[in-house]
Every structure is written in C-alpha cells, then in structure tokens.
Amino acid sequence: MLLRSLVPLLFTLLAAAPFCVADDGYRLWLKYDVVADAALRKEYQRAAQFIVAGGESATLKTAAEELQQGLQGMLGKAVPMVGEEKGRKGGIILRTDAAAAKNAPLGPEGYRVFTDKQNIVITGRTDAAVLYGSFALLRQLQTRQPLTNLALTSTPKIQHRLLNHWDNPNGTVERGYAGSSIWKWYELPEVIDPRYRDYARANASVGINGVVLNNVNASARYLTAEYLQKVAAVAGVLRPYGIRVYLSVFWAAPKTIGGLPTADPLDQKVRQWWTSKTDEIYRAIPDFGGFLVKANSEGEPGPQDYGRHHADGANMLAAALGQHDGLVMWRAFVYKADAKGDRFKAASQEFLPLDGKFAPKVLVQVKNGPIDFQAREPFHPLFGAMPRTPLVLEVQLTQEYLGFATHAVYLAPLIKECLDADTHAKGPASTVARVVDGSVDQHAVSGIAGVANIGADRNWTGHPLGQANWYAYGRLAWDHTLTSQAIAEEWTRQTLTTEPRAVATVAGLMQQTRSIYVRYTTPLGLHHIMGQSIHYGPEPWLAQSDRPDWTSVYYHRADSEGLGFDRTATGSNALKLYQPAVQQLWGNPQTIAPDYLLWFHHVPWSQPLSTGRTLWDELCTRYYTGADSVQWLQQQWASVRPQLDAALHADVAARLQTQHKEALWWRDACVLYFQTWSRRPIPAPFTPPQRTLADVKQLVDLYQLR
Amino acid sequence: MLLRSLVPLLFTLLAAAPFCVADDGYRLWLKYDVVADAALRKEYQRAAQFIVAGGESATLKTAAEELQQGLQGMLGKAVPMVGEEKGRKGGIILRTDAAAAKNAPLGPEGYRVFTDKQNIVITGRTDAAVLYGSFALLRQLQTRQPLTNLALTSTPKIQHRLLNHWDNPNGTVERGYAGSSIWKWYELPEVIDPRYRDYARANASVGINGVVLNNVNASARYLTAEYLQKVAAVAGVLRPYGIRVYLSVFWAAPKTIGGLPTADPLDQKVRQWWTSKTDEIYRAIPDFGGFLVKANSEGEPGPQDYGRHHADGANMLAAALGQHDGLVMWRAFVYKADAKGDRFKAASQEFLPLDGKFAPKVLVQVKNGPIDFQAREPFHPLFGAMPRTPLVLEVQLTQEYLGFATHAVYLAPLIKECLDADTHAKGPASTVARVVDGSVDQHAVSGIAGVANIGADRNWTGHPLGQANWYAYGRLAWDHTLTSQAIAEEWTRQTLTTEPRAVATVAGLMQQTRSIYVRYTTPLGLHHIMGQSIHYGPEPWLAQSDRPDWTSVYYHRADSEGLGFDRTATGSNALKLYQPAVQQLWGNPQTIAPDYLLWFHHVPWSQPLSTGRTLWDELCTRYYTGADSVQWLQQQWASVRPQLDAALHADVAARLQTQHKEALWWRDACVLYFQTWSRRPIPAPFTPPQRTLADVKQLVDLYQLR
C-alpha cells in the first residue's frame, strides 16, 4: 500500500527525467506534471494510446518525441510510437500533407488538429507545422481542456518570429539580468550544452522560428571560419525545432577580418567580400536566416562613414544574399547627438526618405516606440509611414527600463498597446499589427523581433514571472489577436497552477503589473528619467552626460511653469510625423489620454486634467497609488500561496518586497525632485516622503558607482 | 516485484531531493548517492542508526542536518535525530567539548572522530570543529571506508582559509569562465538564492572558513549601508557553516561615498571615516572577517597617491578594526610599468623595506609566483624574505592562464609545487608552506587565499574537472601535507565513481594534466606569452601593448642567439632576491631544473641541456609531446566511460577535444614563431606544422576582436 502510493510520485519523477525534480523553474511552461484529476487523466489516456510519427524527418521525429515526453509526464505512463495506425483507434497521428491547405488557408506553418475516426490527427503543409500542432495539442492537455471532437486550426500572422540575443562573445549579455549568455562560445563547437535543446523546445512550443545569436553591437568574430563552425553547431541543434539562425554583423568586418582598406558598401571588393562570406555561411548553415544590422548608431560603424545611406548598406547585403533564402533586417534605431533636436524624430528623418529604396530582401526593424523601450511609449511614427518597406517590430523582453529582474512586469499589455495602436495609414484599423503583418501594405514578407530576456540562470529569466514575457511574446508573434489576459491565464495554468481561482488571481495581478510600474516610475507620459548607463532606478535630476539626449532633463523639461516635452507645432513638432487622425488624437492636451500627455505637451503644474486634478496633484497621485499598488500585488500573490510551489512562491514574494522598496525610491525621488520645480505641496491624503531629496539621490546614485 | 525493484531508485531520487536527479554536476562532491554494495550499506546502516546533535547552536544543527542528508542518501533510509543516546549503541554523537584539546592539540577547529561504546563520537573544541568532523565522517562513507574503530583526528595547519571572489557588482566575474557571479546583488537582501547555502555546504565540507565576496578591483558600493544589508544577508547564510565574510575595499571610498576631499591614510577625517564605517560593518555583521586590499596596483588608487606607503594604508585599516576580531589582507601584487625593469622584482622592491612596519592585524597577501598565476612559476621571492610579516599565499583556481574552462588542468600539483618549495629562509625545510602556516617565523596568525573558479553555471565551475580544483584547494588549505594524488582519488571517489580501476585512471590522468599543459604552452620556464587582455590562446609575437610588461616579448626575450629572461647577475639579477641556497640551485643553467630554465637564463638555441637535447630541440620536443599527450588524456578518459555518468563523461570528452585543438594552436604558434628566431628545423621525429605562422596568428588573433 505504501509502495502503491509511491508510484504516482515515482512516475512524476521519472517523467521529469531530463529536468529537475525541484521546481526550480528550468522546465518553464513545459512542465508536464502528472494530471492529478484521475478521471481526466483516464480520459487523456484513452485518447493518447499511441503515436504515429508519420515520417522520418528530424522535425517529425522531434514532434513525436515531444508528444511522448509530455504525455508520459501528464498521463503517468509511456505512450508507444507505432509505425502506422492500421485501423487502431485512440491514438495521435502526425501527418505532413502538402495538400492540407485545400481545407483551410494554413500557409506553410499553420496546423490543424482534429478528431478523425477516433484518432487525433495533427496535420499541416510542412513538418514544422505539425510540430507546432503537436505543441498545441500538448497545451490542450496542460491547460486541462477536453480532447473530444478536437478542431484546432491556427496559422501565424507574421512569418519571421525572432528572438534577438544581445549576447556578447565574452559570455556577457548586454542588458541581461538573468546571468550569463546561454551560448558558450569558447566551448563550441565541441561541447553542445544540453540547454540548447531545451531552449529550442521552449521556442518551438510558442512558434518562434528564428534566433539572432549575437548582440547588435556585433563582434566580427562571428563571421570568421572559426566562429561559423560554432554557429553551425548551434544551428544543428535548433534546426529540428524549425528554428533558423541569424547573425548580427559588424559593419566594418571587411576591414577587421577581411583585410580590406574600406567597408564602403559601393566598393566592389567590399561587395565581393560580403558575397563570398555569405556563400561561406550558407555552406556551413544551409538554412541560415540572414543578417541583423545596427549601423551608424551609438558609435557603430556603417555606410554613412563613406557618405552612403542606410539603403546602400542594406541593399549591398541583400545582393550578397543573392539567391540564398535569407533576409536583411536593418535597424532604424539611430539618433545623432543634438541638444537642440528631438531624438523622437531622428529615425524618421533618416529613414522616411529611403522608403522604396530598399531591395526586396530588406526589412527595416523598428522599435515599438520612438525613444528606447520605455515603460510606455507612443507607437513609433515610422509604422504606417513607410508603405513600400516591410517593417519588423522590435520589442524588448529583457527589462532594461522596467526593473531588471526584480520588478514583476508582464509585458503583453505593453506589446499589445503597440500592436493595437492605429496608425491610420490607410484609414482606420491600420493598426501597427497590420502594418507589421503586411496586410496594410500587402507585403509578402513580415517579421517581428523580441530582445530576449534569457540568460544562464537556472530559471532562464531571473524573475520567475519573466518567463511569461518570453511566452507571451511568442504567442503574440504567432497571433497578435490573442488577448494579454488569455495568454496570462494560459501561461499560468501551464507553469504555476491549474487551480481556477489561483489562475484568475495570478493572471489578474499580471495584467496590472505594467500599468502599476508606469505609475510609480513614469506616469502621464514621462520617459527616460532613469539612472544613466545602467538604467537602474530613478535619476530625474540627471543633467550631464556624454550626450545631451542621454540626460533626464532633455526629456522631462521640468521648469517652474510645468512639465513635459512640447512635441506639437509650438515645440519640436514631432507630432507631425503621424497621420492627421493621430495628430488630432494627441495634439490637444485636453483630449489626449493622460497616459500620453507629457510625451507631447509641456503642461502647467496647475493645469486641471481630465482626471479632475491638476497636473501636479495627478502626478503625485499616480506616484503614490502606483507604489501602493505594489502592496496590492503582494497581497494578491500571498493569497495564492497554498496553490503554488513553495520555493517559487517565496522567490517571487521576495522580489515583490524588493520591488516595493524600489517603487518607494522612484516615488520619493520623483515627487521630491519635481517638487523643486512645482513648489507645491504633496496633496492630501498622501504623506510627504520622510526622507529628503538628498537622501534618495545618495541612495540611488550609489548604484552608479563602478 | 516491479514495484519492489523501483524502491531503491525511489530512495535515490528522494535522497537527492534538494538537488537534481540528472547528474548535472550541481551536487559537486556531496553527491550522497546510495551505496550500491548491499553488505557495506548494511554495515553503514548498523553504525548510523541515530544522530545526537548535542546542542541547539545553528552550527551543530547544521552538522546534524548535513549528516542526516548525507546518510539518508547513502544508506537509502532516514536516520532519526534523538535528544540523547541514553545508552543506545550504533549512533553518531556530536559533542562540542572545550576540553577536547586535553587529548590532542586540536586547536579551535580540529576534530576527533572516534568509536566509543559502539557509537561514533564527533568532537572538537568548537561547533565548527564538530561540523568539520561531521564532513570527515561523511567523506569516510563517500569513499567507502570502514566505520569500525574509527580514529580520525585532524587540525588545520592554516587558520584563515579563504576563497577570494573576483565578482563585480554588475554580476560579471573578472577572469570567470563558469557563468555569471553567484551573488545576485540586485536581488539581495530580499531574495536569498538557495544556491548560497549549497555554496556554504561545499566550502565547509573542505574546511574553507572565509570568503571575500567581491573583486579586488573593488566598487565602493559594498561599503554603503544599502550594500551592507546585502552582505549581511549572505553572511547570515554562511555563518552556520563556520564561514566568515570579508570585503575587498576600494581605497578611495572616503571620497566617493564619504564625501571627503582625500583618502590619505594619515588624514584624521579619513581615519575617522574608516573607523566609523568599520563599526557600522560590525553592527551589521558581528563576525565580519576583515578587508582585502588591492592598492596602487594596475590603476587602483592607494596610499601612494598621497606619498604614503603600503604599511601606512594597511595600518590605518588595522586601526579602524580596533578591537573587532578582523584582519587586513594587503595584496603585494604591485608593479610599475618600466620597459627597462623586471616585473619579477617589483613587489619585493616595494614590500621588503616594509617588513616589520605592519600592524599586528595586517597580513600581506602574496601570489604563488612573482609574475601572475602562470602555468609554472618559481615561488615568489617574498616568501621567506619578510620574517616579521605574516604572509598569505594567494593561488588562483580560476584558469585565467590555464585554458579557461576548456582545458583540464588539475591544480593541486601546481599549488603543492609552491607549498613544497624550500625558501631556505631559516635553513633547509623552510618551505613556503611553513612560511605561510607561520611555523618558520612563529607567527600567531596565518592565511591562504584561492581565487575562486566558481560561477552560476549549473555545475559551478564550467569544466566538470574544475570542481576538483575547488576541492583540492580547500583540502590543501586545511592540510598542506596531503598529496595531490590522494586528493585526486578522494575527489574522484566522491564525485565520479568508486570503481577502483576507474578511480586510479581518473586520478592518474588528473595528476598529469598540469605538466601536460605546461609542455604545450610554456615549457622550460617560458611565461606570459598568451593572448593579451583576455589571456586566451598563444600570442608570443605580442610586442605592443598599453604597457611594456603586458607584451610577450618582454618575457621571452627571443633573439637570434637564444631564448629566456636573464635574471642572473648578468641580467636583472632578480635571482638575488632568493636565499643563497636557492640562488645556487637556480643560478647555473647547467644545474637548474629544465622546468625553470628560461625563467632565469637566456640560453643559446644550440645549448645542450641536461636532457641531452639542444634548447631548440628540447623546446620543440616539449611542445610536440605536450600536444600529443592531450590525446593520451583523451584515451585515458575514454577508457573509464562505462564507469561514469554518460552526460558528464561526454561533456569532458568534448572539452578534451577542444583542448587538443587548442594545444595544437599553442604548439604551432610557438614553434613557428620561435623558429623565426632560431632558424632551425623542427627536429625528427616531429612533422613541421602544416599551417604557416600567419595562419595561426590569424586564427588566434580573432579571439582578440571585440
């Protein structure tokens, strides 16, 4: 009897064999713990008695193995692979079917999962589609959905769904807060860290199909024969999961490793060098995805060094790709140091004139907002403004400006806010999402990029809830019509608990995190007032830096009259970069949503807002209620303790403590600093900070020390 | 029957509960896997039926819990804790006994483990001693020794046995090759990573009793109130394991965080600031260990900035410590850029005049050799030359100059070579070990420091065999009379396998690794010819750097006549820093051991050596046989595959492949480069490299690219 009672436990342990028993977060959302509900488990067991892999390709075998592993975990018993069903019922049949598109517009990656003759059939036009369908089926089980009369159909709306790693050859990750890089360049290609495969599994499970392995501030190392062997080794692990490898390129590589005297994109020898190098890459990695380029930005070299423009550079690389099936993703994140200018307009100034000048294989990669991954930004004015150029949306999953790995910030609402924003480029409903997926301008190619929040920390993302951002990014890249709430629930059920009340509580608090973070850091449209260089903590007083547009005062423009950056016609007129409908929406300080107010208007402290409070009182109210709301997050989190793994719960609870402490830094730093301009009291019912501005400055400035 | 057969497996899994099931290296040498030999397991079970903790102190409870965890794993059954033995037999009794010293000169940390009335008694004068004894008992079981008539007695020969972490506040590790820092400063003090405790367990198990948490290139952050809370949180985890926390200090902290205009150690306000700061530290961490200081070295500030000398600085900190039980460890790693000088002599020039000038709480910390952690160095001439100053021996466990985490280099032979070296300071047998343990000069305080090779990689050290260096360092710090071979066997039995033939093979190959590494990189006393800055790969041609003593040519002095640095009277005369007996040993190129030859002599290429070959032929022979020996390592490793965990075996096998590849880089780079000076052929039976010097240069120089 004792032995018998141990068996389910043993199965759980065995099922998790490649993983860790302790719930240390390594398994991500692919936990595959045994289904506790015996009736449901039985139902699942009846529906999954065997698997027919349907082919010998690496990707089909991978799909079948993933099903086996997941089912063994959740059902508590091994599910055999069989050659063919031979009239048997109650199994899962994988079937790549080039004609599957007849029944539904699946595209190359879309899948159908349906019940047929009492079997579950997973089909699609390609092996990768079947792999995605297999993960969709596993998700059904993980979220405890019924398996009867299945009819799941899904097609990705965006073709190229990438993670961008800002990982350096020395093993550090720029803006990484989850340990070192998972890529062990010194050990490759001989040592293949088992983690690479688990990384691929996680990506494939949410539909990510491309990975840029190295930082946009790129080293030329990656283009050497030595490093291409290493890259090829990684590509070999990712390939069966439908994931292609891309590289960030160092523009001056023809000089540093090619021995040429120039990197001018119109120089014939330079062009030949890139063509040969590209051919060499494709010999090593036949399904290489292409190049990501940061050029003439923040000190990186680029075609402008030779009097050429971005399109000259991008088109040269497109020419080098030639007949190879690869792309160039050219970043629009450029801005020149100009104390009198407005960084908001910089990318538009450089790129708008180039619309229509880019070769077919080139996509321009644009951050969600015009400045730099702030907690809330208006959508980038390039979206909708370059109809002849496919634009890749770049969002940041690593929380560079959102509290590193100590603040809980669920990013799906941020990403959705951008995706759902209406550019009005071709009339209403010309959302950023539809610009990016190509439907507004009828582009044949589309892409999206998330700057990874992944490191070698055991749990991948440092903050356990950071895993949800990786997950949500993948799900939204696949289908931008999904809601943040639905994704949060789905992730929670797979990762934390299936208990309905706890799921609702966790997803509910996740949904609030981003707006809470905005309130206690940069409410009402404030932006870029964080600590310099490391971007940690508040530093609204920052007035001196290597560049004027790296200070805080450049952005908030506080003075004795008011606060905010006038980007209307009386100011920088950046607003004019948007369509008239958008200008109308945001041009009037009385009608613009308060969340965006100070992005576009310099508003008097005493100005009453639509909220019924003056600017100053509203500002203080948001800082105070924002910080207080972290306590609400703590209470919500505390309430689900019985339903969650104890160690994981304690970890997040401790991080919420840190978050509350730092929220109070932000609140006190900002209200005390802005008070030196507004000269108004903290409004009731809020208690003025107990510490002085000097106290807070000293506290947060120490994080700037070497 | 099936169920029954699963039970032992289940126990194994359960026993490893806080750890990972897969043998991913996280458990280090504390694996505690079940004893497979049923008879032996029974014998152990009979001897360990209960544990009497013998007290309520945190350290005693820790010792008892560690025994429980280890025994449960190895015996496959839980061992209960009981209040007292009450005449029972077959148990383990922990007993702190201040009078224990009567029977043996145990000192405060020495332990006795003995059989008494059919119980095993673990005793010592302090709780920490009992903890060490408990780990000694566990080691008996792990290495499958009998438990009958136990009589283990051991006392550490060196008092302060420290790990130095070169970990930065941003989470990177200077010269770290095993991922990011294990210290999560942004998350502390709220989040206590469970790993901190496992780190403490590992250290305590080998007797390490102090930890410097931060890099010697220190940030002033650590001395702020904000960071002291974080440090105190770590100290709280380490304390029950008998481990004290130390900090590296930034000399200019009184200016950067104290607001003072100077950091002059003789300035009263500066002295007062340090005194107050030290008091503040002890309020937060009552058992704080003290300060480690790198001053006026490699750009770091120090007392010389104010015309003071090292003793002024160190003594000021000693005064600040006052009555607190803490120490100052002042590093002697100093050298000024001087193209005409000899870096070998730099530390002696600055420190010899200060002997006798240091306050009682000051120890001077000296690297094992005079240059910088090279693969083989003569012992540092300061050892034996500062009789009035206690000297801490600093060795490096992270393989900065020894192949990072890709080369297998077991460091115990290197450390032993230094410890066993005879300074002749007080006649023969004045070994470095006896200088360091205080017995040569009758010092009351003694210390040793190992620069940690630990990072947040799952297996702690990157290279699985790197764990042995952490282990061996701790064991040698405790007892420098242990042999490298014995430690290698002990580690292997606990970590990899207890199968006798495999243990002999693994320990045997480990013993050879360091001398093999020397042969293919820097044979015959060559040194400092590696790649600049990152210190990866060969770069003997390096002639330009920011400082002359950061080049390779400064050290090898190759010319058309010969090779090596003349440090005799006809050269820099650094040899004169040693005792006459040592000078005699090393002063004659005919009698000096070839391993040290080029450290002291510029030798003609055609000079016959004691080996019977000319310098050139011997040099080539060593490079070739060294590289070939890596294949021998590979064969040896392959032969133990059946006895080892498959994943771990494959990991090391892959690293050996990389090592062989890089050994060939070293061989080819060095013989081809030195051949440009010697103008002699590669001697038979060796085949000249297939590639040119330009080929190798291009290959290894790419690792210098950003």
pLDDT digits (tens, 9 = 90+) for A556-583: 999 999 999 999 999 999 999 999 999 9
Could you list the active site residues of B? 298, 372, 400
Q: Is residue A287 part of a domain?
A: yes
Work out the pLDDT band at B646, boundaries 50, 70, 90. Answer: very high
What phi-psi label fits residue A164: left (phi over 0), alpha (psi between -120 and 50 degrees) or beta?
beta
Closest CA to B559 of B603, B600, B614, B596: B603
pLDDT at A298 exceeding the cut of 80: yes
Determine whether the interchain pair A4/B9 forms a contact, defined as Cβ–Cβ distance below 8 Å: no
| A364 and A261 within one domain | yes
- Looking at the structure, do residues A631 and A688 belong to the same domain, yes or no? yes
**Cα→Cα distances A362→A297, A392, B260, Å:** 18, 10, 56
> pLDDT digits over A243-256, tens only?
999 999 999 999 99
- Chain A residues in contact with B455 by the CB 8 A cut-off are 180
CB-based contact A705 B221, cutoff 8 Å = yes
- Residue in chain A nearest B403 by alpha carbon: A186
In this predicted structure, the answer to whether residue A14 has a pLDDT above a threshold of 90 is no
Per-residue CA distances from B602 to A588, B419, B526, B612 (Å): 82, 27, 11, 18
The SS3 call for residue A447 is: strand
Q: Return residues 174-193 of A near B (CB < 8 Å).
A: 177, 179-180, 186-187, 190-192
At residue A336, what is the residue type?
K
Residue A187 sits in a domain whose CATH number is: 3.20.20.80
Place A102 in a pLDDT band, splitting at 50, 70 and 90: low
State how far residue B439 is from chain A, nearest Cα, in angstroms.
40
> Least CB-CB distance to A651: which of B171, B191, B256?
B191
CA dist., res. B586 & res. B568, Å (int): 9
Residues B265, B387 share a domain: yes
For residue A363, the 8-state DSSP code is E
Q: Answer yes or no: do B654 and A191 touch at CB < 8 A.
A: yes
Residue A17 has pLDDT above 80, yes or no: no
Contact across the interface for A455 and B220, Cβ inside 8 Å? no
**Nearest-neighbour CA in chain A from B684: distance (Å):** 30
Q: What is the pLDDT of residue B656?
A: 98
Same domain, B597 and B684: yes
Looking at residue A338, its pLDDT comes to: 85
Q: Which of A10, A191, A406 sits opposite B6 (nearest CB)?
A: A10
User: Which pLDDT score, from 0 to 100, does residue A252 have?
Assistant: 98
Residue contact B190–A706, C-beta within 8 A: no
Chain A CB contacts of B221 under 8 Å are 702-703, 705
Per-residue model confidence (pLDDT) at position B340: 87
Both A263 and A290 in one domain: the answer is yes
Query: Considering only CB atoms, which chain B residues are within 8 Å of A404?
Result: 186
What's the residue count for chain B? Answer: 706
The confidence score (pLDDT) of residue B3 equals 41
B655 contacts A187? CB cut-off 8 A: yes
For residues B349 and B462, membership in a common domain is answered with yes
A376 within domain boundaries: yes
Give yes or no for residue A103 having a pLDDT over 90. no
Domain stop point among B100, B130, B154? B154
CB B131 within 8 A of CB B154: no
> Whole-angstrom Cα distance, residue A400 to residue A164?
14
- Answer whether A30's CB lies under 8 Å from A18's CB: no
Q: Tell me, what's the pLDDT at A215?
A: 98
Per-residue pLDDT tens over the stretch A499-546: 999 999 999 999 999 999 999 999 999 999 999 999 999 999 999 999
Residue A15 clears pLDDT 70, i.e. is over it: no
Q: Which of A167, A186, A662 would best serve as a mutation to test chain B binding (most B beta carbons within 10 A)?
A: A186
**Residue B438 scores a pLDDT above 80:** yes
Burial tier of B357 (Cβ tally within 10 Å: 0-12, 13-18, 19+) = middle
Asked if residue A189 has a cis previous peptide bond (ω within 30° of 0), the answer is yes
pLDDT, mean over chain B:
95
Which residues of chain A lie closer than 8 angstroms to B408, CB-CB?
none
Inter-chain residue contact B180 with A226, CB threshold 8 Å: no
Count other C-beta atoms under 10 Å from residue A60's C-beta: 22
Residue whose entry in the numeric block shows the structure tokens 């492949």: B657
Could you tell me which of B535, B607, B612 has the C-alpha nearest to residue B176? Answer: B535
Q: Over 70: is that where the pLDDT of A9 sits?
A: no
Residue of B nearest to A458 (CA): B458
User: From B186, which residue of chain A is nearest by alpha-carbon distance?
Assistant: A406
Structure token digits, residue A422: 């209406």
Q: List, for residues B146-183, the tens digit of each pLDDT value.
A: 999 999 999 999 999 999 999 999 999 999 999 999 99
Q: How far is CA B518 from the centre of its chain?
A: 18
Active-site residues of A, by number, are: 298, 372, 400
* ipTM here: 0.95
Output the six-digit token pair for A19: 């993983």
Query: Does B497 fall in a domain?
Result: no
Residue of B191, B459, B665 to mutate, interface with A, max A Cβ within 10 Å? B191
Q: What distance in Å separates the CA atoms of residue B338 and residue B202, rounded to the nearest whole number? A: 43
Residue B611 structure tokens: 């080996």
pLDDT higher than 50, residue B472: yes
Q: Note the pLDDT of residue A22.
A: 60
**CB–CB contact A256 B705 (8 Å):** yes
Task: Report the number of distinct structural domains present in chain A.
Answer: 3
Query: Which H or E element spans position A90?
Result: none
Q: Give just the sign of the alpha carbon dihedral A30, A36, A37, A42.
A: positive
Instruction: State how far Cα A255 lies from the chain centre.
Output: 33
User: Could you identify the residue written with the tokens 């972490």?
Assistant: B165
Q: Is A86 an interface residue toward B (CB < 8 Å)?
A: no
What is the C-alpha to C-alpha distance for residues A327 and B684, in angstroms, rounded to an integer?
A: 53
Show residues of chain B in contact with A647, CB under 8 Å. 194
Statement: residue A16 has pLDDT above 60? no
For chain A, give the number of residues. Answer: 706
| Structural domain ending residue among the three candidates A86, A121, A154 | A154
The verdict on a CB contact (< 8 Å) between B705 and A661 is no
Structural domain including A226 reads: 160-482
Beta carbons of A706 and B18 less than 8 Å apart: no
Tell me what the mean pLDDT of segment A220-231 comes to: 98
Split at pLDDT 50, 70, 90, the class of B339 is confident
Say yes or no for a CB contact (<8 Å) between B221 and A703. yes
Q: At what angle do helices A412-419 and A484-495 cross, to 10 degrees?
A: 150
The tally of CA atoms less than 13 A away on the side-chain side of residue A586 is 32
pLDDT of residue A664: 98
Query: Do A189 and A325 have their domain in common?
Result: yes
Listing DSSP states for B510-558 in one string gives HHHHHHHHHHHHSGGG--S-BPTTT--SB-TT----SSGGGSSHHHH--
Q: Is residue A495 part of a domain?
A: no
* Cα–Cα dist A77/A67, whole Å: 12
Smallest Cα distance from B356 to chain A, Å: 34
Nearest to residue A198, comparing CAs of A465, A493, A477, A454? Answer: A454
Contact A177, A398 (CB under 8 A): yes
Structure tokens at A319: 């020419």
Structure tokens at B396: 């490096």
**Helices and strands counted in chain A (H then E):** 21, 16
User: In this complex, is the C-beta atom of A651 within 8 Å of any C-beta atom belonging to chain B?
Assistant: yes
Quote the pLDDT of residue A386: 98
Rounded Cα–Cα distance for residues A387 and A381 (Å):
12
Q: Measured between alpha carbons, how far is B598 from B603 in angstroms, rounded to an integer?
A: 7
State whether residue B2 sits within 8 Å of chain A by CB: no
State residue B344's pLDDT score.
Answer: 98
Is B179 in contact with A179 (Cβ distance < 8 A)?
Answer: yes
Tell me the DSSP string of B51-84.
EE--S-SHHHHHHHHHHHHHHHHHHSS---EES-
The torsion of the CA quartet B315, B316, B317, B319, rounded to 10 degrees, works out to 80
Three-state SS for B112?
A: strand
Q: Which of A545-559, B19-33, B276-290 has the lowest mean pLDDT?
A: B19-33
- Predicted confidence band at A3 (pLDDT cuts at 50, 70, 90)? very low
Q: How far is A260 from chain B (nearest CA, A)?
A: 15
Q: What is the C-alpha to C-alpha distance for residues A256 and A224, in angstroms, rounded to an integer?
A: 10
Tokens standing for residue A623: 């800082």
Residues B223 and B275 in one domain: yes
Q: Is A487 part of a structural domain of the chain?
A: no
CA atoms within 13 A on the CB side of B598: 25
d(CA A233, CA A237): 7
Determine the average pLDDT of the residues in A288-306: 98
Q: Inform me whether the pLDDT recorded for B539 exceeds 70.
A: yes
CATH number assigned to the domain comprising residue B543: 3.90.1330.10
How far, rounded to the nearest angstrom, does the alpha carbon of residue B390 sit from its chain's CA centroid? 19
- Structure confidence at residue A85 (pLDDT): 86
Q: Helices then strands (H, E): number in chain B?
A: 21, 16
Q: What is the pLDDT of residue B101?
A: 56
Residue A496, in any domain of the structure: no
Dist. CA B15–CA B31, nearest whole Å: 10
Q: Which of residues 580-639 of A touch B (CB under 8 A)?
A: none
Closest Cα in chain B, distance from residue A659 (Å)? 10
- Say whether both B554 and B663 belong to one domain: yes
pLDDT tens, residue by residue, B564-576 = 999 999 999 999 9
* Predicted local confidence at residue B23, as pLDDT: 80
> A4: pLDDT confidence band, cut at 50, 70 and 90?
very low
CB within 8 Å: B191 and A655: yes
With both helix axes pointing from N to C terminus, report the angle between B467-478 and B194-205 in degrees, rounded to the nearest 10: 50
Looking at beta carbons, which residues of chain B come within 8 Å of A180?
179-180, 455-457
> Which tops the pLDDT comparison, B6 or A101?
A101
| B contact residues 95-134, partner A, Cβ 8 Å cutoff | none
Residues 381-420 of B with CB under 8 A from A: 404-406
Residue-level pLDDT at A498: 97
- Cβ contacts of A7 on chain B, cutoff 8 Å: 3, 6
Q: Work out the percent of chain B whose per-residue pLDDT is above 90.
A: 94
In a domain, B648, yes or no: yes
pLDDT band at A398 (very low <50, low <70, confident <90, very high): very high
Look at B187 and A9 and tell me if their CB atoms are within 8 Å: no
The DSSP call for residue A431 is B
Sort out which chain B residues have CB atoms less than 8 A from A223's CB and list them. none
| Contact yes or no for B192 and A456 at CB 8 A | no
Q: Nearest-CA distance from B85 to chain A in Å?
A: 30
Mean pLDDT across chain A: 95
Rounded to the nearest 10°, the torsion over CA A188, A194, A198, A204 is 50
Residue B9 has pLDDT above 60, yes or no: no
Distance, in angstroms, between B175 CA and closest chain A CA? Answer: 10
Task: Supply A41's token pair.
Answer: 């488990």
Query: Residue A192: its chain B contacts at CB < 8 A?
Result: 654
Q: What is the mean pLDDT of residues B376-397?
A: 98
Q: What is the DSSP string of B594-609?
A: GGGHHHH--EETTPBP
Chain A residues in contact with B18 by the CB 8 A cut-off are 22
Q: How many CA atoms lie within 13 A of A535 on its CB side?
A: 19
Question: Going by DSSP bridges, is the β-strand pair A447-451/A160-164 parallel, antiparallel, or unpaired?
Answer: parallel
For residue A320, pLDDT over 70 is answered with yes
Same domain, A128 and A27: yes
Amino acid type, B547: R
How far apart, in whole angstroms, are the C-alpha atoms of residue A371 and residue A343?
A: 7
Asked if B186 lies within 8 A of A227 by C-beta distance, the reply is no
Instruction: Identify the residue with better confidence: A27 or A16.
Output: A27
B182 and B318, same domain (yes or no)? yes
Q: Where are the beta strands (DSSP E) in A158-221?
A: 160-164, 210-212
What CATH number did the domain enclosing B108 receive? Answer: 3.30.379.10
Q: What is the pLDDT of residues A161-212, one digit of tens each?
A: 999 999 999 999 999 999 999 999 999 999 999 999 999 999 999 999 999 9
| A532 interface with B at CB cutoff 8 Å | no
User: Are both A65 and A165 inside the same structural domain?
Assistant: no
Q: Is residue B496 part of a domain?
A: no
- Are the Cβ atoms of B219 and A706 closer than 8 angstroms? yes
DSSP H or E run through A245: strand A244-249
Q: Which residues of B touch A190 (CB under 8 A)?
A: 654-655, 657-658, 661
Domain C-terminal end among A154, A175, A196: A154
**Which chain A residues contact residue B224 at CB under 8 A?**
702
